[in-house]
Structure 1
Amino acid sequence: MNHGNHYQGPAGISRRDMLRRSSAGFGSLALAGLLGSESQAANTSLVQQPHFTPKAKRVIFLFMHGGPSHMDTFDYKPQLQKDSGKPLPFDKPKIFSAQTGNLLGSPWKFKRHGESGAWVSELFPHVAGCVDDLCIINSMYGSNSRHGGALLELHTGSDTFVRPSMGSWITYGLGSENQDLPGFITVCPTLTHGGVNAYSSSFLPADYQGTPIGNASIPADKALIPFIKNKSGVPLSTQRKELDFLQQMNREHLSDSGPDAALEGRINSFELAYRMQTTAPELQDISDESEATQKMYGLDNDVTKNFGRQCLMARRFAERGVRFVQITHSYKWDQHSGLKTALPRNCQEVDQPIAALIKDLKSRGLLEDTLVLWGGEFGRTPVSQGADGRDHNPQGYTMWMAGGGIKAGMQYGATDDYGYYAVKDKIHVHDLHATMLHLLGLDHKRLTYKFAGRDFRLTDIHGEVMYDLFA
């Protein structure tokens, strides 16, 4: 697929300008399907060609909202243990969240695991069994120490402006592999620190916005795709006629007005909602999963069943061709206090389900072309906040990836001896985005969209592909 102004048509007009100038645009292509055409051109989100051969086809993002403490989970710091209680021997960042004290060693033990010998905290015993499938990045860093800005930077590439989310950019670039489901689904998304902006398509066409299933206040087993259940007693044939009539009026409106992204987005959403009525209920009914599978994800345990169901749904959506799936453990990782009680509880809720997801994807042959990403909006400080807490730390933290062409069994980069700053093979959030897009076969510099007089991209004017992470 060609993006932005890189492709010139026969009259020197870009692909995007050609579509914009046409009186039909994407909307009438969708209407062709709505009004009875069998042509697959009716769905504007079908698979599109990447810039080059991809290693991954889809992404599952496991978002730990609040900022997990890296030196208590995946970034072992023996010097921090040794110097716990002493003052930090170098300057703290100029901008930080709150007043902090002396060094605070991790209360939990670390061990090496797998053939790779990766260090993992005792808080993640199940994920530790999967380390040979992980690429643990210990050198992440970002630009913002506040939840709202950092969360938006991770999701959209900008900590200051409303921009399209990474899931929207990916579905814009590649389309969906299933015309009966959205290309981008977010399960139980957070309601805070940006809310809908974390999965918004912003100025991209509305087709590419994430479809929320529930939200952070709703248990996962009650979170269903909204607005697809037909009114009781109304047959699909009647609804089809009503929708055809509505779309006929929309077509006339579109013909009179010319290209209208908002109207075209509504046209496509109506058609997708109609098709999902027969696909989504079956997909969200997990009764066809074996008892062993449900137990593996922890659905038989009150502690793990909520996030376990999210992980299981992520696998089911990935199987059906959803391009970008996000599941959120919200908002529990912000341990300014109560570290010793809250962090173990958080880890226990997600550890078994995450390991189950990796193993399940691998056993089904899906991990090879599914990129799994784990992490939060930043990490925590190696110095204490209060008696038993850690402050925000975007200067250095951990995220990990698995599958999708990533080099497995590797710990990449490093923070300093105490875990405050990324110091070796640093990876900024922009670099993470560039790398993800590359694995999906997309050049982050060519994946552009013209808006307000300039070409925008997920990485803005930044980002380097981290080739060392590739298998």
Structure 2
Amino acid sequence: MINPYRTDALLPQPGMLVGRRTLIQASMFGAASWAALQGTAGKKVTASETLSGEIGFGRAKRCLLLFMWGGPSQLDTFDPKPEAPDAVRGPFKTIATNVPGINFSENFQLLSQRADKLAVIRSLGHDDPAHLSSGHTTLTGQLPPRNKSDAAPPSDRDTPHIGCVMSKLRPSLGALPSFVTVPWFAYHPAAPGGQAPGQDSGWLGRQYDPLLAAGDPNAPGWQVPSLSLIEGQSPDRLLRRQNLLTLMDTQRRLVDEASMSRRLNAQQQQAFGLLTSSSVRQAFDLEQESPETRDRYGRNTHGQSVLLARRLLDHGVPFVSVNWQNDGQNFWDTHGNNFNRLKNDLIPPSDRAFSAVLDDLEQSGQLNDTLVVWVGEFGRSPHINASVGREHHPYCYCGVMAGGGIRGGQVYGASDKHGAYPSDKPLTPHDLVATMYHALGVAPGEVLHDGLNRPHQIVAGRPVRELFV
């Protein structure tokens, strides 16, 4: 069995503050390597300029992340084991897809006919069985400040979510936010820490936090709470109040030119822009979609969240994360009743919404430059427990990628005969996020600074270039 938890002494440890000497050495090594690879030794080149010719680099202009909070079972989704014993295989049958040799669980009736658009990764793995800390690693590509823990909530020491990093590096134009999360920040009632870290901007600064489109987009009359004007307010009246506040802020800045005041003013301006912009309100308005389209995505929280995400991408939001919603049944964390939950509650909405957004992106011509990623924080145990469920199993699980230069119709990596450990081409969450950054045009040596001007290397894993066209 191949060890999926490789280390690389040449790279900083995930989440580590990179010292000046290390940065200089890494930069010299990286620049020399890139220059040699391109035949440009002696020429001054940047990482992005050199990598721009690499396969898949920077192809994606926008990203949709479908985060299946709780940990989907790899055996019951995209890596079925029809030859395994009943106690491992479970009751689901395996179905062929529209790509010969690629099989899914029988419950993915729609996605199975779109496998030619998908790259299925069957060799993801790590060693953290806790929801919160592994959630941080999945969403940031870096280990959290406190690893293997369900007791550590979000903090300003967390690595920023990939969407927050992109907000810094590739901000949206106009009034629309650069990063939107739908429909909530993932939270687990059984975890002492509650909300998973890694869902906000962490050490990067609050100005890069996502806009949370909270609530149930499937509910009649749903509106984004943070974009709703107070009853009786109009955009014109709000603008007059903004002008008054701006005058007061100007007076205050004559006394205090501290950076915090400037940051607060920028956030206030953004907030007022969101509240008063008709284009923003239109982007979030699901009533603009036909009943047939809403039905196609599924008249449920997840389906309408994915439809909203597609609308936001269409209107210029570069990054949208759809977290599996608070369903009151512990999400994909199926310690008990695994097969009924998957068959009746979890897979059908995911199958329908994922298929619908792929169809729409392809029809509009945007799939080629829109990266779509489906993944959870870990997988489930091959052994079926006494509650007809599966326990946490971080050592091997699946992820799915599409669009943004990803070559469809492929399976990357493999697991052993019981889906317990990777047997070929093992990948970590660090590698998956590094691959996302590669697609989005972020070079491996990219460094950002925190509020104390300390450098952090953003990319900790190895981009999987073989996944790209």
TM-score over 0.5 for the pair? yes
Report the alpha carbon displacement of residue 109 of structure 1 after superposing the two structures with TM: 0.9
SS in 1 for 2:391: strand
Contact 2:139–2:161 (Cα < 8 Å) also in 1: yes
Match among 131, 134, 151 for residue 118 of structure 2: 134
Distance 1:450 1:273, change over 3 A: closer
Distance 1:433 1:259, change over 3 A: farther
Contact 1:225–1:280 (Cα < 8 Å) also in 2: no
Deviations 1:289-318 (A, max 9, x none): 22332222123xxxxx32211111011000
Q: Does 1:372 align with 2:372?
A: yes
Q: Does 1:162 align with 2:158?
A: yes
Distance across 1 between alignment mates of 2:284 and 2:373: 23
Contact 2:218–2:304 (Cα < 8 Å) also in 1: no
SS in 2 for 1:62: strand
Q: Does 1:342 align with 2:351?
A: no
Contact 2:135–2:196 (Cα < 8 Å) also in 1: no
Match among 109, 112, 118 for residue 125 of structure 1: 109
Aligned-residue CA RMSD in angstroms? 2.6
Unmatched tracts of structure 1, length 5 or more:
7-48, 86-103, 300-304
Report the alpha carbon displacement of residue 379 of structure 1 after superposing the two structures with TM: 0.4
Distance 1:221 1:448, change over 3 A: farther
Distance across 2 between alignment mates of 1:211 and 1:78: 43
Deviations 1:129-156 (A, max 9, x none): 1110000000111241011111111113
Q: Match of 2:15?
A: none
Q: Match of 2:13?
A: none
Distance 1:224 1:433, change over 3 A: same
Q: Match of 1:263?
A: 261
Contact 2:124–2:427 (Cα < 8 Å) also in 1: yes
Q: Match of 2:362?
A: 362
Contact 1:214–1:222 (Cα < 8 Å) also in 2: no
Distance across 2 between alignment mates of 1:280 and 1:363: 24
Distance 1:338 1:231, change over 3 A: closer
In the superposition, the TM-score normalised over structure 1's length comes to 0.78
Contact 1:395–1:421 (Cα < 8 Å) also in 2: yes
Deviations 1:80-105 (A, max 9, x none): x2x344xxxxxxxxxxxxxxxxxx22
Distance 1:291 1:369, change over 3 A: same
1:213-362 equivalence runs, <5 A: 213-215=213-215, 224-254=223-253, 256-260=255-259, 262-276=260-274, 277=276, 278-299=278-299, 305-330=300-325, 331-345=330-344, 346-362=346-362
Contact 2:374–2:399 (Cα < 8 Å) also in 1: yes
Q: Match of 2:98?
A: 114
Distance across 2 between alignment mates of 1:238 and 1:68: 48
Q: Which amino acid is 1:55 matched to?
A: R
Report the alpha carbon displacement of residue 50 of structure 1 after superposing the two structures with TM: 6.7
Report the alpha carbon displacement of residue 231 of structure 1 after superposing the two structures with TM: 3.8
- Taking only the aligned residue pairs, the percentage that are identical comes to 29
Q: Which amino acid is 1:122 matched to?
A: E
Q: Does 1:71 align with 2:70?
A: no
- Matched positions, count: 396
Report the alpha carbon displacement of residue 268 of structure 1 after superposing the two structures with TM: 2.4
Contact 1:188–1:220 (Cα < 8 Å) also in 2: no
Distance 1:234 1:122, change over 3 A: closer
Distance 1:281 1:431, change over 3 A: same
SS in 2 for 1:137: strand
Q: Which amino acid is 1:324 matched to?
A: F
SS in 1 for 2:407: coil
Contact 1:173–1:447 (Cα < 8 Å) also in 2: no
Report the alpha carbon displacement of residue 386 of structure 1 after superposing the two structures with TM: 2.0
Q: Match of 2:59?
A: 55
Q: Match of 1:207?
A: 207
Unmatched tracts of structure 2, length 5 or more:
1-17, 21-46, 53-57, 147-156
Q: Which amino acid is 1:455 matched to?
A: P
Distance across 2 between alignment mates of 1:469 and 1:259: 47
Contact 2:72–2:376 (Cα < 8 Å) also in 1: yes
Report the alpha carbon displacement of residue 344 of structure 1 after superposing the two structures with TM: 0.8
In the superposition, the TM-score normalised over structure 2's length comes to 0.78
Report the alpha carbon displacement of residue 280 of structure 1 after superposing the two structures with TM: 3.0
Distance across 1 between alignment mates of 2:220 and 2:413: 38
Distance 1:170 1:447, change over 3 A: farther
